[in-house]
Amino acid sequence: MADRYGRAWQHPETIDLTTLILLDGLTWRDWGAPRPRATGEASCKVGCTAGQARSYQIRVVLSDRVRRGSVAYYGEATITPVHPPAPTWATGFARKGSLNLPDS
């Protein structure tokens, strides 16, 4: 997982997952392990369905560590709701997804 400049993140509190969804308030455990875990909140930035919650509590698990030079990055994130189901605006995002990685 890298920022827009290709720098590796460490314990990110916020992840701008897509143009629609923001992960925020992330608290990490086991950072540096093959599968670090976090809890936090997923929020709808735009295009939320009327009458639905704009945010919900989530669990995040990172995986698929890859090395680029001397730096390791996590390439995949699995996002699940703490109290299912997730709002319909999050359909398709409460799953495993690829993260931004710098080129090799």
Judge whether 54 and 83 are in contact, CB under 8 Å. Answer: no
Domain ranges of the chain: 15-98
Structure tokens at 26: 């992330």
Taking the C-alpha atoms of residue 77 and residue 35, their distance in angstroms, rounded to an integer, is 9
Which residues of the chain carry a pLDDT beneath 50?
Answer: none
Cβ count within 10 A of residue 60: 21
* pLDDT for the residue numbered 101: 65
* pLDDT for the residue numbered 67: 85
Q: Tens digit of pLDDT for each residue in 19-48? A: 888 999 999 999 989 999 999 999 998 877
- HSE at residue 91, side-chain half, CA atoms within 13 A, is 6
Judge whether 95 and 78 are in contact, CB under 8 Å. Answer: yes
